[in-house]
Amino acid sequence: MAITRFAPSPTGYLHIGGLRTALYNYLWARKTNGEFRLRIEDTDTQRNNDEAMEAILEAFKWVGLSYDGEVEYQSKRMDIYKKYIQQLLDEGKAYYCYMSKDELEALREEQMANKQTPRYDGRYRDFTGTPPSGIEPVVRIKAPLEGKITFVDGVKSIMNINCNEVDDFIIARSNGNPTYNFVVAIDDALMGMTDVIRGDDHLTNTAKQIIIYEALGFDIPKFFHVPMINNPQGKKLSKRDGALDVMEYKRQGYLPEALLNFLVRLGWSNKDQEIFSMEEMLELFDPSNINKSASSYNQEKLLWLNSHYIKNVSNDRLAKELEFFDCHLQGHDKKEMILDLSKERAQTLIELKNAINIIINRPTQYEEKGVRKFIKEDTSKFMDAYLKTLEEKQESLHLACDYEDITKPFIKEFELKFPQLFQPIRIALTGGTQAPSVYDIMAILGYNEVNLRIRTALDKNFNKEA
C-alpha cells in the first residue's frame, strides 16, 4: 500500500509538469489501495498567491484527481516544525550559527578565488563561546562529515552523494521560519509517505532530506525522480511550448481525459499503446517503469488524443462541456445529429463549437474565394430548379439519405458534376466551402431552413454581406 502526495507551492498556477507529477502519485496510490494526499507548501508568505492556490484546487477538480483527507497547509503547521527544530538543538544535532552576511560573502569570494565550491565551513558547528552581539542566528543541522549518503532511486537506480558535498545547511532562518527541505522532510515523515514521486529537479534536495530523516529517526520513503518535460528541441519547456496553467487547457478546448492520457505518456509507456483510459492507467502504471530520459512535449499528439476523446465521449457529455464555451445544445431536437456530424473533424471543443455554429447559425456573409470559384452564370438557374425539386418532395425529407435520394437523379438529369451543385449549396447554407456533408447539413436544418438559406443566397447573388 503506497502513500503518496502532491505538494505544490501556491506561488503560481499549476502547470502540466506539476499535473503529471500529481497524476503519477495518484495512480500509484490508487493502484495499491493506498492514499493520495494533497499538501500546499505555503510557507513563503511573500510569494503566495491566493488565486493560484484556488487554481490548483480547481485544476484537481477539473481533471478528477481526488485526494484523501483534508488539504494540508504548511502555514498551519509551524508549531510542529519549531518543535522538531528545538529537538535537534537539544540533542546537539543542530546548532545556532552566528555568521554574518558579510562573513558569509567573504568566505564565498575566498572559496571561488581558490576554485572551490562555495559552502559553509562549519565555523560555528561546535561553538561554545559568547555569541556575537547584533546577530540573529540561523539554525544549521550537523551534516555527516565523512562517508556517503546512499539511496535507491526508483527511476535512476543507486545514488551516492559524498558527504563532503553537503554542508551544514540551514533548517531555520534568523526569523525562526523553517526552510523548505526541513518542512518537506517533516511533513513527508509525519504524513506517512512511503513513496515520493517528484521531478528530478528535486534530486539535489534528497540528500539533505535524508540527513533530516536520520537525525530525527524517521523512516525514509522510496524516491522516484521523474525526468523533466522538454520542448521538441530538447530545451526547457516554456509557455510557448505548452507549459501553461492547467486550466488554460480547459479554456483552449481540451478534455481532461485527453490531457491526462497525454501526460501519462510523457515519461511512462506500456509498449506501443497510446490510448489509455483511467482504468487502464490504474491497472498498468508502475513508477518503476518511468523512463530514465526526459520526454518531449508534442502538441500534435495532444490534439490527436483530444480528437479521439471528442469522438468517443457521449454526446450528452459533449453538450455539457460545450456550455463552458457558450454553446447550448441541450434541448435541441437535432442535438445528436449535430454532434455526430460536427465532432468528426474537431480537434478541440472550440473547433467543435465553431463547426456547430457554422451549421446552426445562418450565414451573415459568404466566402469570397468560394463564390468566385463556384458561383457561375448558370448557378442560379439549376439552383432554382433544385429548390423546386426539394419543394415537391419536402414531405419525405427527414434523413440525409432522403436528400441524397432526390439529389443524385437531379445531378444526372442536369448533367452536373457534384461540386457544381454541392459547393453552391454548401456556401448558401454555411457561408463557406469547408463544411461537412451537404446531405447531413440539410437533414439537420430541415426543408424550411434549407429553402430559406438558399433563396437568401440567390437573392443576394452570393454577395459579401447576406
Q: What's the order of all strands across the beta sheet hosting 157-162?
A: 157-162, 148-153, 222-226, 195-199
**Per-residue pLDDT tens digits for 139-161:** 999 999 999 999 999 999 999 99
Asked if residue 252 and residue 287 are part of one domain, the reply reads yes
Q: Output the CA–CA distances (angstroms, integers) from residue 365 to 330, 356, 430, 465, in the order listed.
A: 27, 17, 9, 5
d(CA 445, CA 458): 18
Tell me which of 63-72, 127-136, 333-342 is least confident: 127-136
Judged by phi (left if over 0) then psi (alpha if -120 to 50, else beta), residue 99 lies in: beta
Q: Examine residue 347 and state whether it is found in any structural domain, yes or no.
A: no
CATH number at residue 93: 3.40.50.620
**Per-residue pLDDT tens digits for 31-74:** 999 999 999 998 877 777 788 888 899 999 999 999 999 999 99
**Per-residue pLDDT tens digits for 348-387:** 999 999 999 999 999 999 999 999 999 999 999 999 999 9
Residues of the chain above pLDDT 90, percent: 84
Q: Examine residue 337 and state whether it is found in any structural domain, yes or no.
A: no
Q: Examine residue 183 and state whether it is found in any structural domain, yes or no.
A: yes
236 annotated as a binding-site residue: no
Q: Examine residue 348 and state whether it is found in any structural domain, yes or no.
A: no
- Mean pLDDT (the chain) is 93
Residue recorded with cell 556517503: 148
CATH number at residue 372: 1.10.10.350
Asked if residue 212 and residue 87 are part of one domain, the reply reads yes
* pLDDT at residue number 429: 97
* pLDDT at residue number 304: 98
* 361 grid coordinates: 447559425
Q: Examine residue 351 and state whether it is found in any structural domain, yes or no.
A: no
Q: Which domain holds residue 54?
A: 1-68+227-312
* pLDDT at residue number 464: 55
Asked if residue 234 and residue 219 are part of one domain, the reply reads no
Q: Examine residue 321 and state whether it is found in any structural domain, yes or no.
A: no
Q: Does the pLDDT at position 403 exceed 60? A: yes
Asked if residue 221 and residue 91 are part of one domain, the reply reads yes
* pLDDT at residue number 104: 87
**Per-residue pLDDT tens digits for 418-431:** 999 999 999 999 99
Asked if residue 222 and residue 126 are part of one domain, the reply reads yes
CB 212 within 8 A of CB 245: no
* pLDDT at residue number 466: 44
Three-state DSSP class for residue 362: coil
More confident site: 2 or 103: 2
Asked if residue 156 and residue 176 are part of one domain, the reply reads yes
Asked if residue 222 and residue 89 are part of one domain, the reply reads yes
Q: Does the pLDDT at position 205 exceed 90? A: yes
Asked if residue 83 and residue 44 are part of one domain, the reply reads no
* 91 grid coordinates: 540533542
pTM of the model: 0.91
Which of 226, 253, 273 delimits the end of a domain? Answer: 226
Asked if residue 120 and residue 62 are part of one domain, the reply reads no
Asked if residue 218 and residue 81 are part of one domain, the reply reads yes
- Close Cβ partners of 181 (under 8 Å, ≥ 6 residues apart): 169, 171, 205, 208, 209, 212
Which of 2-16, 17-31, 220-234 has the highest mean predicted lDDT (pLDDT)?
A: 17-31
Which of 279, 296, 312 delimits the end of a domain? Answer: 312
Q: Examine residue 323 and state whether it is found in any structural domain, yes or no.
A: no
Q: Is 379 exposed, middle or buried (0-12, 13-18, 19+ CB in 10 A)?
A: buried
Q: Does the pLDDT at position 465 exceed 70? A: no
**Per-residue pLDDT tens digits for 254-310:** 999 999 999 999 999 999 999 999 999 999 999 999 999 999 999 999 999 999 999
Q: Examine residue 31 and state whether it is found in any structural domain, yes or no.
A: yes
Domains identified in the chain, total number: 3
Asked if residue 97 and residue 221 are part of one domain, the reply reads yes
DSSP bridge pairs for 39: 72
Asked if residue 368 and residue 308 are part of one domain, the reply reads no
Which of 254, 286, 312 delimits the end of a domain? Answer: 312
* pLDDT at residue number 181: 96
The amino acid occupying position 138 is: V
Q: Does the pLDDT at position 435 exceed 80? A: no
* pLDDT at residue number 356: 96
Q: Within 176-292, where are the H helices?
A: 180-190, 203-216, 246-251, 256-264, 278-284
